Amino acid sequence: MQWDFPRGLEDAGEVESLASRAGVAPGAISPNLFQDQDYKFGSFGNPDPSVRAKALDHCRESVAIARQLRSRDVSLWFADGSNYPGTANIRQRKHWFEESLRAAHEALASDQRLLIEYKPFEPAFYHTDLADWGMALLAARAAGPQAKVLVDTGHHYQSQNIEQIVAWLLDEQMLGGFHFNDRRYADDDLTLGSIDPYQVFRIFHEIRLYEWETGGRADIAYVIDQSHNLKGKIDAMIQTAGMAQMLMARAALVDLPRLTAAHHTCDLIAAETCLQDAFATDVRPVVREWRQGKGLPQDPLDASRQSGYVERISRERAGRTIPSTGAYA
């Protein structure tokens, strides 16, 4: 992953200028609280107060970077935990986390948010300080009213019902955003929908059902978080964006009045068929027509490959040094 701010706030102006020239805006800013050797035994959960202070200072600087770039969300993921029983005071680490999260929250502007991600394991294989959505929810509430939970679709145990987690967080008004990817086992960052597109469809359905029932719009940050070790990075990102469009379009086809009626009468077949019929619909012609109406290529992946853009920038950027520290967008 490219670290975008190796000199911290000093780099924000350059990133802002580059983004403006490219016609894009920086997304969430993510502090790097796992790479330095100082974080070997944790960041916010480290027994050494000087390391906890270093981590907090970096979070505050990341908030300042986000503010300069007019980026609302500061996304936090922690590698903190332990590998062996008895080697960490789990309750004390929880208290240190709450203290540091409150301090990071105090640095936010009124229009900014903290998004707190959870992860069941890796690199901590005995206990992870924020191991599931309930822990992240409690941590967000301890941090303050501008903190929400971030759901990474790849970072769950196999067969876990992620859409139920999404439904609960929506109902608690604590769903802040997603890192979208896919998983084969439990901690994967594969291209969205490459393994289980039906699950992503079900997540989008839960969001749409919530919005339909409440009459409002869920305030959710949609972020792509993938590890492209074999696929070309730009090709994989285009694949994911296209898959997300198609799955969202399919979720929009669910007959919600009919589904709700089936819920009330416990008509299981009718209810399940509402989802299956929508998921089975070929929405590709509609999506292509929508893109054409926006002046966009009907087949973005083919257009990208035909343009030669990836080959050109690969030549231009060959030999550049990749920074090793800093926050990233």
Q: What are the average pLDDT values for consecutive 10-residue runs of the chain, which has 329 residues? A: 70 87 90 94 98 97 94 96 98 98 98 97 94 98 98 93 98 97 91 96 98 96 90 94 97 98 98 98 97 96 95 85 61
How many residues appear in the chain? 329
Cα torsion 208, 210, 214, 218: sign: negative
> How high is the pLDDT of residue 117?
98
Domain spans of the chain, in order of start: 8-254
Q: Are 124 and 113 in contact (CB under 8 A)?
A: no
- On the CB side of 270, CA atoms within 13 Å amount to 13
Provide the 10 A C-beta neighbour count for residue 156.
21
- Between CA 291 and CA 122, with CA 195 as vertex, the angle to 5 degrees is 115
Residues 6+ apart with CB under 8 A from 135: 118, 129
Label residues 73-104 b or e (16+ Cβ within 10 Å = b): bbbbbbbbbbeeeeebeeeebbebbbebbebb
Amino acid at site 97: F
Highest CATH level, class, for 8-254: alpha beta
Q: For residue 172, which of 201, 148, 204, 156 has the smallest C-alpha distance?
A: 148
Q: What is the dihedral of CA 97, 129, 197, 222, to 10 degrees?
A: 10
Rounded-to-integer distance, Cα 313 and Cα 315, Å? 5
The answer to whether 224 and 192 have CB atoms below 8 angstroms apart is yes
Q: Is 7 exposed, middle or buried (0-12, 13-18, 19+ CB in 10 A)?
A: exposed
Tell me the backbone φ, ψ of residue 75, rounded to 5 degrees: -100, 125
Question: Torsion angle, CA of 107/96/144/178, rounded to 10 degrees?
Answer: 90
Predicted structure pTM score: 0.92
Query: Could you tell me which residues come within 8 angstroms of residue 141 by beta carbon, excluding any fewer than 6 positions away?
Result: 147, 174
Q: Are 209 and 256 in contact (CB under 8 A)?
A: yes
pLDDT of residue 2: 36
**Alpha-carbon Rg for the chain in angstroms:** 21
